[in-house]
């Protein structure tokens, strides 16, 4: 296999010059569990926090999380067992120190979330009811509203934010899309250019300047034709970080959720999720002939880690010549299903499927980016002044495959760590205000090409890949990059589409180079895990001082101490 042509990226997207300026000590970008937690914590100690979010405060992926939040809350459970399950799911590529942080700090952070107003489901004695999901050997998933955990967490955090909206120490700007990161001459991140669809003073592109920036912009699911991610998940923060020179890692490890409601060939955009918790409560995957097939595949059967289940479904689909399998929950009974999974049952019924009387058609679809902007244990990235938290980040806790329901916990735990680190640094006089420097622009990919990017990614870098499929995808994406029109209108549509292209090229390069199968990265032509050759991370870095804009791909051994 030849190494692919290096990808070159511009430093900035074409955009109008800033027409307004906002100033803060810390700019937090994003309003999921990570961004809201971080902003609320920072506000307690930092004079000026600016929170910007792409559309409404609750429009991101957190709100859509069904299953729950994993933490060793039960007396018979322990952080050590949670650690073990996380490491196994991550297939040798987790950073154990990061996982240790996650599982040991997780339980108290969940209790703090409860104290703050989040209402988790409880039993008759008032104890939190815990369920199980794939890869967990214990019941350790706390849930809310049955299958509306993310919506409840989001509600509770937004209520906290609304309570302090009048506080001059925190400013919130909605409908604000981050375009690019601003950096000083010495390469320190000192804000972001942000496009606001607003009225009055803050409208159009402006410069949000700050001593530090926390990216909490979520994932990149819209890079594929179908995904469980909401429409806002176009990887804007990740792409901006890549262009600015931050190190991104593990991009090839894309998690495909095994049980996404199958709405027929060609269904595109955000698809309804059927939570893994449904299997946690006893539902079983069956093929078109009604045969349960997971028992022979893995000792944990239907509750094997997510990558194992997704792969088994794809194999069963290929063997039976179908494009979906079924999740049979009928034996759980109507009363139980309606109470425990009200959102899923209602959504299925809206779409003409009644889980009480019918098996639910399901197939794998994109769900989560296990990689992202590489951070250390304090959430610091490789760029001074830039932090990353939540799905946009790669803290090392997920490795090659995220353990179910670890993502809300990761956002929560690392948001606290980032706030703590920033409070100390700002109080010490570190990260003094500085001016942005540099400008430039490049052609944009017009929004009408978005479906081509998504179809290319789906065909070439989907749940099953090969050297050939990734090479074809790289060639198609490079051709799209060549056809970028200098006069494409700058605006949310072309910025998002260009972000998808930029990230798609980096992700596909990683998927092409990694000649093995592991976690969320499955190569037909290299079906086995190869620890000799590939116990390593692929790190993508664009050197901001290199005028060619080439993105270097570095293979980083897992034995090396983690630095961002
Ligand atoms: C699910 O409910 O199956 C999704 C939970 C997760 O992605 O962790």
Whether residues 235 and 278 fall in one domain: no
Find the CATH number of the domain harbouring 381.
3.50.50.60
How remote is the CA of residue 362 from the centroid of ligand 1, in Å?
15
Instruction: Choose which residue among 63, 67, 278, 397 to substitute to test ligand 1 binding: the one with the highest number of ligand atoms within 8 A of its C-beta.
Output: 67
Are residues 187 and 38 both part of a single domain? yes
Same domain flag for 240 and 330: no
Q: Are residues 82 and 169 in the same domain?
A: yes
For residue 149 and ligand 1, the question of a CB distance below 6 A is answered with no
The catalytic site residues sit at 306
Give the SS3 label for residue 287.
coil
Q: Which helix (H) or strand (E) holds 82?
A: helix 79-89
Give the closest residue (by CA) to ligand 1 atom 8.
405
Cross-strand pairs, 257: 365
Residue 311: inside a domain: yes
Instruction: Give the C-alpha separation, 202 to 187, whole Å.
Output: 27
Find out whether the beta carbon of 376 lies less than 6 Å from any atom of ligand 1.
Answer: no
Alpha helices, DSSP H only, in 233-333?
Answer: 236-244, 276-280, 306-320
Of 427, 451, 472, the residue at which a domain comes to its end is 427
507 CB-near residues (< 8 Å, 6+ apart): 220, 223, 251, 252, 254, 457, 461
**In testing the pocket of ligand 1, which one of 66, 256, 406 has its CB within 8 Å of the most ligand atoms?**
66
196, 119: one domain: yes
Residue 355's pLDDT is 98
121-128, long-range: CB < 8 A, 24+ apart: 121/145, 121/146, 128/73
How confident is the model at residue 314, as a pLDDT?
A: 94
pLDDT at residue 201, rounded to an integer: 67
Report angle CA 117, 121, 123 to the nearest 5 degrees: 125
Question: Is residue 524 domain-resident?
Answer: no
What is the DSSP secondary-structure string of 121-160? -B-TTSPBPEE--TT-SS--EE-STTT-HHHHHHHHHHHH
Let me know the angle formed at the C-alpha of 120 by 117 and 122, rounded to the nearest 5 degrees: 125
Has residue 456 been placed in a domain?
no
Would you give the DSSP letter of residue 249?
A: E
Distance 88 CA to ligand 1 centre (A): 17
pLDDT for position 38: 98
Asked if 174 and 198 sit in the same domain, the reply is yes
Cα 54 to its chain centre, rounded Å, is 15
Last residue of a domain, one of 399, 427, 455: 427
How high is the pLDDT of residue 200? 67
* Ligand 1 in reach of 404 Cβ (< 6 A): yes
Query: Does the global pTM surpass 0.75?
Result: yes
Looking at 427, 446, 466, the residue that finishes a domain is: 427
Do 287 and 232 reside in the same domain of the chain? no
Strand ordering across the sheet containing 372-374: 393-394, 372-374, 248-249, 536-542, 551-557
The pLDDT assigned to 4 comes to: 83
Interior/surface letters 42-57, b for 16+ CB within 10 angstroms, e for the rest: bbebbebbbbbbbbeb
Could you tell me if 238 and 277 lie in one domain? no
Statement to judge: residues 270 and 131 lie in one domain: no
Using the mean position of ligand 1's atoms as its centre, give its distance from the Cα of residue 103 in Å: 17
Model pLDDT, residue 2: 62
Is residue 401 a part of any domain in this protein? yes
- The answer on 304 and 238 residing in a single domain is no
> Dihedrals φ, ψ of 224, to 5°?
-105, 160
Tell me, yes or no, whether 63 and 188 share the same domain: yes
Three-class secondary structure of residue 423 per DSSP: helix
CA atoms of 163 and 242, how far apart (whole Å)? 35
Residues of the domain holding 234: 21-253+368-427
Contact call for residues 528 and 511 (beta carbons, < 8 A): no
* Closest approach atom of ligand 1 to CA 134: 3
314: CATH = 3.90.700.10
Q: Which H or E element spans position 399?
A: none
CA of 278 to the centre of ligand 1 (A): 10
CA distance 462 to 82: 29
What total number of domains does the chain contain? Answer: 2
How many residues in the chain? 564
Q: Look-up: residue for tokens 């983690």?
A: 562
**How would you label 4-16 residue by residue, b for 16+ Cβ within 10 Å and e otherwise?**
beebebbbbbbbe
Tell me the pLDDT of the chain (564 aa) as tens digits.
567 889 999 999 999 999 999 999 999 999 999 999 999 999 999 999 999 999 989 988 999 999 999 999 999 999 999 999 999 999 999 999 999 999 999 999 999 999 999 999 999 999 999 999 999 999 999 999 999 999 999 999 999 999 998 999 999 999 999 999 999 999 999 999 999 987 666 789 999 999 999 999 999 999 999 999 999 999 999 999 999 999 999 999 999 999 999 999 889 999 999 999 999 999 999 999 999 999 989 999 999 999 999 999 999 999 999 999 999 999 999 999 999 999 999 999 999 999 999 999 999 999 999 999 999 999 999 999 999 999 999 999 999 999 999 999 999 999 999 999 999 999 999 999 999 998 777 779 999 999 999 999 999 999 999 999 999 999 999 999 998 877 788 999 999 999 999 999 999 999 999 999 999 999 999 999 999 999 999 999 999 888 899 999 999 987 665 677
- The 3-state secondary structure of 324-384 reads CEEEECHHHCHHHHHHHCHHHHHHHHHCCCCCCCCCEEEEEEEEEECCEEECCCCCECCCC
Residue pair 34/154 in contact by the 8 Å Cβ criterion: no
Ligand 1 atom nearest to 403, measured from its CA: 8
Same domain, 136 and 224: yes
Q: What count of other Cβ atoms lies within 10 Å of the Cβ of residue 339? A: 12
Is 145 among the domain residues? yes
In a domain, 175, yes or no: yes
Q: Is 66 in the pocket of ligand 1 (CB under 6 A)?
A: yes
Q: What is the pLDDT of residue 558?
A: 79
C-alpha 487 to ligand 1 mean position (Å): 41
Give a yes or no: residue 481 inside a domain.
no
CB distance 423 to 42 below 8 Å: yes
- Establish if 306 belongs to a structural domain: yes
Residue 512 in contact with residue 540, Cβ under 8 Å?
no
């Amino acid at each position: 296999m030849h190494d692919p042509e290096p990808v070159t990226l511009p430093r900035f997207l074409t955009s109008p010059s800033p027409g307004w300026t906002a100033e803060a000590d810390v700019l937090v970008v994003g309003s999921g569990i990570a961004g809201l937690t971080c902003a609320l914590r920072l506000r307690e100690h930092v004079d000026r926090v600016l929170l910007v979010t792409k559309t409404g405060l609750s429009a991101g992926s957190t709100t859509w999380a069904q299953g729950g939040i994993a933490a060793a809350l039960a007396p018979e459970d322990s952080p050590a067992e949670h650690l073990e399950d996380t490491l196994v799911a991550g297939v040798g590529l987790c950073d154990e120190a990061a996982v240790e942080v996650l599982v040991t700090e997780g339980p108290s952070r969940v209790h703090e979330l409860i104290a703050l107003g989040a209402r988790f489901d409880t039993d008759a004695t008032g104890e939190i009811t815990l369920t199980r999901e794939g890869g967990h050997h214990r019941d350790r998933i706390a849930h809310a509203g049955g299958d509306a955990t993310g919506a409840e967490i989001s509600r509770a955090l937004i209520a906290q934010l609304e309570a302090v909206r009048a506080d001059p120490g925190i400013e919130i700007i909605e409908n604000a899309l981050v375009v690019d990161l601003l950096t000083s001459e010495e390469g320190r991140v000192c804000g972001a250019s942000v496009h606001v669809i607003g009225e009055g003073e803050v409208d159009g592109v402006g410069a949000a300047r700050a001593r530090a920036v926390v990216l909490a912009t979520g994932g990149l699911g819209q890079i594929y034709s179908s995904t469980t991610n909401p429409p806002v998940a176009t990887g804007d923060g990740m792409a901006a970080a890549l262009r600015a020179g931050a190190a991104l890692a593990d991009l090839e490890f894309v998690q495909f959720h095994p049980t996404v409601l199958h709405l027929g060939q060609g269904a595109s955009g955000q698809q309804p999720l059927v939570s893994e918790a449904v299997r946690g409560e006893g539902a079983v995957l069956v093929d078109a002939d009604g045969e349960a097939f997971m028992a022979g595949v893995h000792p944990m059967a239907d509750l094997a880690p997510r990558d194992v289940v997704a792969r088994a479904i794809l194999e069963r689909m290929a063997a039976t010549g179908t494009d979906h399998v079924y999740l049979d929950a009928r034996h759980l009974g109507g009363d139980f299903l309606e109470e425990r999974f009200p959102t899923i049952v209602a959504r299925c019924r809206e779409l003409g499927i009644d889980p009480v009387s019918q098996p639910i058609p399901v197939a794998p679809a994109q769900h989560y980016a296990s990689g992202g902007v590489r951070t250390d244990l304090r959430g610091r990235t490789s760029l001074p002044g830039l932090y990353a938290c939540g799905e946009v980040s790669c803290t090392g806790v997920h490795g090659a495959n995220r353990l179910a329901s670890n993502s809300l916990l990761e956002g929560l735990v690392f948001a606290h760590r980032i706030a703590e680190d920033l409070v100390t640094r700002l109080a010490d006089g570190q990260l003094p205000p500085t001016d942005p420097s540099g400008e430039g622009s490049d052609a944009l990919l017009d929004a009408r090409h978005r479906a081509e990017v998504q179809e290319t990614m789906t065909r070439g870098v989907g749940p099953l890949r090969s050297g050939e499929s990734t090479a074809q995808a790289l060639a198609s994406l490079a051709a799209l990059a060549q056809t970028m029109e200098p006069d494409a209108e700058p605006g949310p549509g072309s910025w998002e589409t260009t972000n998808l292209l930029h990230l798609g090229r980096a992700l596909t390069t990683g998927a092409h180079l990694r000649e093995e199968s592991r976690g969320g990265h499955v190569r037909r032509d290299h079906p086995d895990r190869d620890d000799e050759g590939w116990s390593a991370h692929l790190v993508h870095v664009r050197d901001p001082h290199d005028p060619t804009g080439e993105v270097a791909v570095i293979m980083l051994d897992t034995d090396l101490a983690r630095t961002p």
